[in-house]
Amino acid sequence: MTSKAREIIIKNLFALLAFISVLLLGLIVLFLFREGLPIFKQISMAQFLFGSAWYPTYDPPEYGIWSLIVGSVIVTVLSCLIAVPFGLLSAIYISEIAPAGIKEILKSVIELLAGLPSVVLGFFGMVILAPWMQETFDLPTGLNIVNASLMLAVMAIPTISSISEDALYAVSRDFKEASYALGATKYETIVKVVIPAALSGISTAVILGMSRAIGETMVVLMVAGGSAAIPRGIFDSVRPMPASIAAEMGEAAFGSGHYHALFATGIVLFIITLAFNLIADHISNRFKEEGSGTL
């Protein structure tokens, strides 16, 4: 075989594999929409999105997912409020401050944290954290927003920390030297030069952490409590969208309104995570021409 023929075969093989992966994903999205959209023959989109009653098995059934959306948003936002400071500050410490030995240890521990199966975290939240919270704060249940947010934060911290750390690490040494040579201290260099130059990467990290948290199923299924009602406080139970889909899909009759409503919930979730990823992409591209450190 000539080297030219080999080049052509390799090129087409790679193109084919790439095409198949994209096609498979495309078909899944198509399937999601095909199974989800029929619900809108029964109720309007506004009723579906903003209806606050989720009684899919009643007669007549009600398919309002507002409480599920609220549940998802609240645990995501709360988990980010916890995970962003921890993730970001640990990234800054690892990349800029820690001595070499500690740096390696911390990096591997955070990678280890990323490798924890979510079911293990859910189990921890259920068996250790929930009973403790229930007793300490005298709550009706320890399976609630705070518990779910804490567990989701533990999942999001490694994502935020490792991507931010890459972004900080990518900041050119030239900028740091320039800053020190102008009489800046280490702290001033980090705050005024390194973080601004890495900001696009850091924003990407935060948004990818959020999209990780909002799409996570097992943790919220196990520890969010599963109540499909709009919460009145942070110690109430909620039923985020992924938990609702996972819990109910096995029982919903094929082709029923409930079945279509769950797929439509999946569409909503898909659109939210897609939006997060697009925003992350946009932000990471934004400062590239300025020559700052990006991923």
Partner 1 sequence: MIVRARNVDFYYGAFRALTDVTLDFEKRRVTALIGPSGCGKSTLLRLLNRMNDLIDGTRVEGEILFEGRNIYAPEVDPVEIRQRIGMVFQKPNPFPKSIFDNITFAPKLSGIRDRGEIETLVEGSLRQAVLWDEVKDILGKSAMNLSGGQQQRLCIARALAMKPDVLLMDEPTSALDPISTAKIEELIDSLKKRYTIIIVTHNMQQAARVSEYTGFFYLGKLIEFNATEKIFTNPAMKQTEDYITGRFG
Q: Rule CB under 8 A: is residue 292 a binding residue for partner 1? A: yes
User: Which residues are paired to 54 by β-bridges?
Assistant: 63
Report how far residue 193's alpha carbon sits from residue 171's, in angstroms, rounded to the nearest whole number.
Answer: 9
The size of the interface with partner 1 (CB under 8 A), counted in residues, is: 24
Tell the smallest beta-carbon distance from residue 167 to partner 1 (Å).
13
Q: What is the DSSP string of 187-255?
A: HHHIIIIIHHHHHHHHHHHHHHHHHHHHH--HHHHHHSB---S--SSTTS-B--HHHHHHHHTTTSPTT
The CA distances from residue 238 to 35, 46, 222, in Å, are 25, 21, 11
b/e map 236-270, b = 16+ CB within 10 Å: bbbbbbbbbbeebeeebeeeebbbbbbbbbbbbbb
For partner 1, the closer of residues 65 and 193 by Cβ is: 193
Q: Rule CB under 8 A: is residue 59 a binding residue for partner 1? A: no
The SS3 of residue 62 is strand
With beta carbons less than 8 A apart as the criterion, state whether 292 and 197 touch. Answer: yes
Binds partner 1 (CB under 8 A): choice among 184, 247, 249, 279: 184
Tell the smallest beta-carbon distance from residue 2 to partner 1 (Å).
44
Report how far residue 231's alpha carbon sits from residue 237's, in angstroms, rounded to the nearest whole number.
Answer: 7
Which residue stretch of 37-45, 66-74, 84-92, 283-291 sits at the interface with partner 1 (rule: CB under 8 A)? 283-291
Q: Rule CB under 8 A: is residue 53 a binding residue for partner 1? A: no
Report how far residue 130's alpha carbon sits from residue 104's, in angstroms, rounded to the nearest whole number.
Answer: 33
- Least Cα distance to 207 among 148, 149, 283, 269 occurs for 283
Q: Rule CB under 8 A: is residue 181 a binding residue for partner 1? A: yes
Tell the smallest beta-carbon distance from residue 88 to partner 1 (Å).
20
Q: Rule CB under 8 A: is residue 175 a binding residue for partner 1? A: yes
For partner 1, the closer of residues 25 and 178 by Cβ is: 178
Q: Tell me the longest C-alpha to C-alpha distance in the chain.
A: 77
Which residue stretch of 50-58, 121-129, 142-150, 186-194 sits at the interface with partner 1 (rule: CB under 8 A)? 186-194
Q: Rule CB under 8 A: is residue 123 a binding residue for partner 1? A: no
Q: Rule CB under 8 A: is residue 289 a binding residue for partner 1? A: yes
Tell the smallest beta-carbon distance from residue 103 to partner 1 (Å).
12
Tell the smallest beta-carbon distance from residue 201 to partner 1 (Å).
13
Sites for partner 1 among residues 62-101 (CB under 8 A): 100
Binding site for partner 1 (CB under 8 A): 100, 172, 174-185, 188, 192-193, 196-197, 287, 289-292
